[in-house]
Amino acid sequence: CSSLEKGQPYIFRVGAGQVIKGLDEGILSMKVGGLRRLYIPGQLAFPKGLTSAPGRPRVAPSSPVVFDVNLLFVPGLDDDE
């Protein structure tokens, strides 16, 4: 499943538990405009698994996952920095 397929970015607050722990940790060291492939171990992804839903596959408990991330914007940061 991809936010690119939906035509809009996925917006969330880093560190607030709105996404899996592995995404929170992987994005913290990124800079705006950065691209990164995050290989997330099962315990930082979906330790209890994830049921399937329309447009989303089932994820078995503690399965590692991979996300391609493009950090587009961080509120409060100027483009000059």
Q: Quick one: pLDDT band at residue 46, thresholds 50, 70, 90? A: very high
Cβ atoms of 46 and 64 within 8 Å: the answer is no
Strands, E assignment, 11-79:
35-40, 65-70
Residue 75 has pLDDT above 70, yes or no: yes
Q: Quick one: pLDDT band at residue 78, thresholds 50, 70, 90? A: low
DSSP state of 59: B
Question: In the chain, what are the domains?
Answer: 3-70 (3.10.50.40)
pTM of the model: 0.78
Residue 19 has pLDDT above 60, yes or no: yes
- The per-residue pLDDT for range 51-67, each reduced to its tens digit, is 998 878 899 999 999 99
